[in-house]
Amino acid sequence: MSKYLIFGATGQDGSYLAELLLSHRHEVFCIKRRSSSINTMRLDGIINHPSIKILHGDVTDTASVMQLISQIKPDFVLNLAAQSHVGVSFNEPEYTAQVDAIGTLRILESIRLFNRNIVFYQASTSELFGGLDDKILDENSSFNPRSPYAAAKLYAYQLTKMYREAYSLQTFNGILFNHESPRRGENFVTRKITMGLSNILKGKFKSIKLGNLDALRDWGHAKDYCEAMYQMVNLNKPGDYIVATGECYSVRDFLNTAFQEVGIKLKFVGSGVLEQAIVMEKSKTDYNTENVAINQVVVEIDPIFFRPLDVPKLQGNSQKFRELSGWSPKITFRELVAEMVKYDVAF
Residues near ligand G4F, by CB under 6 A: 84, 86-87, 125-127, 177-178, 187-189, 192, 210-212, 215, 217, 251, 305, 307, 310-311, 314
List the catalytic residue out of 4, 16, 149, 241: 149
| CB-based contact 103:79 (threshold 8 Å) | yes
Residues 26-45, one symbol each (x = binds ligand NAP by CB under 6 A, - = not), give: -------x-x---x------
The HSE-up count of residue 85 (CA atoms within 13 Å, CB side) is 16
In the annotation, is 149 catalytic?
A: yes
Residues 172-211, one symbol each (x = binds ligand NAP by CB under 6 A, - = not), give: ----x-xx-----x--------------------------
- Rounded CA gap, 113 and 64, in Å? 14
- Rounded CA gap, 262 and 341, in Å? 8
In the annotation, is 127 catalytic?
A: yes
Size of the site for ligand NAP (CB under 6 A): 25
Binding segment for ligand NAP (CB under 6 A), chosen from 55-63, 104-112, 205-213, 227-235, is 55-63
Binding segment for ligand NAP (CB under 6 A), chosen from 2-10, 157-165, 230-238, 285-293, is 2-10
Backbone angles phi, psi at 9, to 5 degrees: -70, -20
State in angstroms the smallest separation of the CB of 58 from ligand NAP: 4
> 3-7 and 220-221 as β-strands: parallel, antiparallel, unpaired?
unpaired
State in angstroms the smallest separation of the CB of 112 from ligand G4F: 26
Which residue has the closest beta carbon to ligand G4F?
215
- Which residues are known catalytic residues? 125, 127, 149
